[in-house]
Amino acid sequence: MTAIAEKTAIVTGAGTGIGKSVATALLKAGWNTVFCGRRKTLLEDAIAEAGKTQAKALAVACDISKAEEVDDMFETVLEAFGRVDLLFNNAGMGYKSTLIDEIPVEVWNDVVGVNLTGSFLCARAAFGAMRRQKPMGGRIINNGSVSAYAPRPGSAPYTATKHAITGLTKTLALDGRPFDIACGQIDIGNALTEMAQPMTVGVPQANGSIAAEAVMDVQRVADAVLHMASLPLDANVLFMTVMATKMPFVGRG
């Protein structure tokens, strides 16, 4: 076993899409990897698809918007592996393009609950574990979005949470310094997952039109997260944007 194989990573939202791709890449790279999500069957399927690896995989069902479930999940991980070296705060949700006065309050609460409160709860638990374990330290990587910089039309809940994730990232990066806890953020644009499939057909643009957008293989995101995770703790990618080269992000508005 290599040194990295003795490290443990937690990936939230690991049953599908970006989370599944990243968790699988970490596992194959030698990280003991916890696949976390709401539906355990999807997590187990993802682990099975990864095939036989030298490192260990664990599926843990958890609703990250609920503090007690997050605490239970981290307790399970610490019992299984003894420490937490990496958290990829990935789980998130969006909502169809809608003007703010037509967005139900319960939708706002759901999006904030998963994207922001869930990220806070997982970071809170990871930070505590990393601060107290020996050797001390670890890394937290938050999944932001290019929406953390420029919104899509009709995306108030999602965009607000992704802007907030940037503040969470900066604060964790600052507060983690005395404890060898690094925190960075990956802002992803148009990775081809089931969630992003509509972009290949047509989505609302800033000028009021509907247009298809360029997408990229989700494996590119996994490669980028793996690079961020592989750095020694004295170095940190604070912010990284990985995006489909021809998507209209740079020219939004």
Q: Any idea which residues carry the catalytic annotation? A: 158
Q: And the tokens for 16? A: 């599908």
Strands (DSSP E) along 53-147, which ranges?
57-61, 86-89, 138-143
Q: Scanning the structure block, which residue is given the tokens 């069957």? A: 41
Query: Using an 8 Å Cβ cutoff, are 133 and 86 in contact?
Result: no
For residue 176, with 0-12 CB atoms within 10 Å meaning exposed, 13-18 middle and 19 or more buried, which class applies? buried
Q: Is 97 in a helix, a strand, or coil?
A: coil
At 107, phi and psi to the nearest 5?
Answer: -70, -45
Kindly state the DSSP code that residue 216 receives in the 8-state scheme: B
Query: Using an 8 Å Cβ cutoff, are 62 and 37 in contact?
Result: yes
> Which contiguous run of DSSP H or E holds residue 14?
none
Strand-pair category, 32-37 with 57-61: parallel
Q: What angle do CA 97, 92, 31 make, to 5 degrees?
A: 150
Kindly state the DSSP code that residue 147 receives in the 8-state scheme: G
User: Measuring CA to CA, how many Å separate 102 from each of 97, 194, 205?
Assistant: 10, 25, 19
